[in-house]
Amino acid sequence: MAVRRGRPRPGRRLPRAGPAGHRRQREPLQPDRRRADQPDPGHRGARGARRRPAARARRLDDGGETLLLLGESRPEFGGSAWASVVHGHLGGLPPRLDLDAERALGGLLASLAADGLVSSAHDLSDGGLAQALTESALRYGVGATVSVDGDPTAALFGESVARAVVTTADAAAVLAAAQAAGVPVTELGTTGGDALVVEGLLELPLDELHTAWSTTLPTLFDTPEAVVGSVPAGAVPTS
């Protein structure tokens, strides 16, 4: 078979050779070239949202921001860390599942992050509000001053689902967005200082909290009666 030789026809571009003679692969799709109906992975499926700085997960800001609790709190202690630590009991009815509330909260958090309205966010699960505030404060060494209404035990240690704590420099905008999304909001207090303060109840220096947190596992391993899934009454919390 005859092989044609000579120069390529005008206007025809040959593929540029890459390593080992392979054709160069097409460059990946850039974020600003996505179609409007494609989810942006940076915002957990929020469609049509352009990339903006996301919230810094599990972090209190340097201070002076407003702490807001998103979601409805109920006195639900069945299977909770509080019941395990204080009473050595894991039983009862677990917190009521509310998928509609979970969906509304997830959509609100994605929207707040996309609009740059929150500087941090932390979910509430084991240990309730008290544990979420403690973890957030310890991670970056920034305290907070908060107040709670009603029964303080329920407010601090209840484990109702579909809740999160956020910090913001624009509380009014977050409140308006939450109201539009149908998500209850409670203003807790502000960030700052070197202690976690619950007004009228307690003031715990962050150094003291860090010591309790860092000695949890050594204390449990030195306790013969500690077993998986339960903590003896009066022992150090597992969360």
22 lies in some domain: no
Q: How many folded domains does the chain comprise?
A: 1
Pairing type for strands 185-191 and 66-70 reads: antiparallel
Tokens of 203: 């003031």
226 lies in some domain: no
Residues of the domain holding 82: 55-221
Write out the E strands in the chain. 56-57, 66-70, 120-123, 144-146, 164-168, 185-191, 195-198, 202-205
The pLDDT score that the predictor gives to residue 176 is 98
Pairing type for strands 185-191 and 164-168 reads: unpaired
H or E stretch including 134?
A: helix 128-140
6 lies in some domain: no
Average pLDDT across each block of 10 residues of the chain; the chain has 239 residues. List them in order. 55 53 44 38 32 44 86 91 86 91 97 96 94 91 95 94 96 98 97 96 94 85 55 44
Pairing type for strands 56-57 and 120-123 reads: parallel
How far apart are alpha carbons 213 and 236 in whole angstroms? 9
Tokens of 97: 């599942």
Give the Cβ contact number of residue 26 at 10 Å: 6
**What is the number of alpha carbons within 13 Å of residue 150 lying toward its C-beta?**
11
Contacts with 121 (C-beta within 8 Å, 6 or more apart), sequence order: 55, 57, 58, 109, 112, 113, 164, 165, 166
Residue 207 is part of a domain; what is its CATH number? Answer: 3.90.650.10
46 lies in some domain: no
Which DSSP category does 239 fall into? -
232 lies in some domain: no
72 lies in some domain: yes
The pLDDT score that the predictor gives to residue 86 is 87
23 lies in some domain: no
The pLDDT score that the predictor gives to residue 166 is 96
Q: What share of the chain is helix, strand, coil (3-state, %, to 5)?
A: 30, 15, 50
43 lies in some domain: no
The pLDDT score that the predictor gives to residue 139 is 85
Tokens of 123: 């979910």
In angstroms, what is the C-alpha Rg of the chain?
26
